[in-house]
Structure 1
Amino acid sequence: MKQTIPGLIAAIMALSSCSQRTTTTNHVKVKENPVNTKVTEQALDKGLFATLKIKNEFKTGEPVKLKFTVYNSTDSVKEFCKWHTPFEPLMSKYLEIKEANGEEAAYQGPMAKRMMPPPASSYQKINPGDSLSVDVDLLKGYAVQKPGRYTLSYTGQGMSGLVVKDSVVFHILP
């Protein structure tokens, strides 16, 4: 029994270490959500959600740029963990990219091992009603060079706490 309690405490700390933190501010008015997309109730309850945007078509060899935007739909400052998002240099696999036949594109980037809990510098603040965007070239970490149709989904929500409802589709042309 004595060995089980420290293990449970360590597991709880690891799972909760990158959760969202909230700071109340004097801002009360929330700007309208500038994104034209449906968001799950779960995402709205958390106050932070992200979207993926990508061009429909790219030529072989051309950079495959993804725009990742995080929105704060609340009346308070929110934070999310940058780990497993494009807001940090490529350090882990946080996207799932599949070809039309269901085969997953290989991840070719680094895989960082980190100490828990994340330091304060690993969190990004977003003001009430505001958003932050970043572009990332998928070719820097994923094998998506051959022509075809690809579906991209965000899988880093367990670490970052961000919810992304929809996947996006793009084509690599010969």
Structure 2
Amino acid sequence: MRNPLMIVAALLSVFTFSACKHTQKTTNSQAGNEGLTAVMSVPQSVKTGAPVTLKFTVSNNSAKDLKFCKWHTPFEGFLNSYFDIKDGSGTDARYKGVMAKRVMPPPAESYITVKAGKSISAEVDLLKAYDLSTPGTYKVIYQGGSMSGIEKVNEVNVTITK
């Protein structure tokens, strides 16, 4: 006969995990992040070794003020790898920045408010955190949405020339 205590423990862990996932989704929805979008822009072409400045603009398209977590966004600089950058052959650009460990949940000062109908921007130099030393075209995809709550972000391409 199976141990009833083990069965109960297994069922509780499944329900607890499901409840945590549901709570996280509800929290993101309550924060209203569905009204936030971001647009990235980079120069079309940059010479090898020159700064590769990426502008990250977050817009609030709703009628109320909304917040997002600045962790894993250009608003805090590079404390984690939150971009997926690949060259034309699909090879990842090596991340050479720091990887900060975080206390969860994020404290109140980790959030930025975007007023209704307004936008805010931040810039980072991709060259400071990613190896973009080989000439070619690189695709930049934002991957920090699960932390920041900003899910709607465009992709950009930048060409590194000699």
What TM-score do the two structures reach when normalised by structure 1?
Answer: 0.79
Change (3 A) 1:122 1:94: same
Which residue identity is paired with 1:131? S
User: Is this contact kept in 2: 1:14–1:116, CA < 8 A?
Assistant: no
Change (3 A) 1:7 1:96: same
Q: Residue 81 of structure 2: which of 63, 84, 93 is its match?
A: 93
Counting only pairs closer than 5 Å after superposition, residues 62-81 of structure 1 correspond to structure 2 as: 62-81=50-69
- In 2, the alpha carbon distance for the partners of 1:49 and 1:18 equals 18
> Which residue is equivalent to 1:122?
110
Identity %: 40
- In 1, the alpha carbon distance for the partners of 2:150 and 2:87 equals 25
CA-to-partner distance for each residue in 1:30-76, whole Å, 9 max, x for gaps?
xxxxxxxxxxxxx8xx1101011011000111000000000001110
- In 1, the alpha carbon distance for the partners of 2:97 and 2:158 equals 21
Aligned-pair CA distance for 1:159: 0.8
Between structure 1 and structure 2, the one with the greater Rg is 2
User: Is this contact kept in 1: 2:40–2:153, CA < 8 A?
Assistant: no
- In 1, the alpha carbon distance for the partners of 2:14 and 2:41 equals 44
Q: Which runs of 4+ in 1 moved over 6 A?
A: none
- In 1, the alpha carbon distance for the partners of 2:84 and 2:66 equals 26
**Larger helix fraction of residues:** 2
Q: Residue 103 of structure 1: which of 65, 75, 91 is its match?
A: 91
What TM-score do the two structures reach when normalised by structure 2?
Answer: 0.84
- In 2, the alpha carbon distance for the partners of 1:12 and 1:164 equals 20
Which residue identity is paired with 1:157? G
User: Is this contact kept in 1: 2:77–2:124, CA < 8 A?
Assistant: no
* Pair 1:57 & 2:40 matched: no
> Which residue is equivalent to 2:13?
4
Consecutive unaligned residues of structure 2, counting only runs of 5 or more, are 1-7
Consecutive unaligned residues of structure 1, counting only runs of 5 or more, are 23-42
Aligned-pair CA distance for 1:5: 6.8
Change (3 A) 1:14 1:51: same
3-state SS, counterpart of residue 159 of structure 1: helix
User: Is this contact kept in 1: 2:35–2:61, CA < 8 A?
Assistant: yes
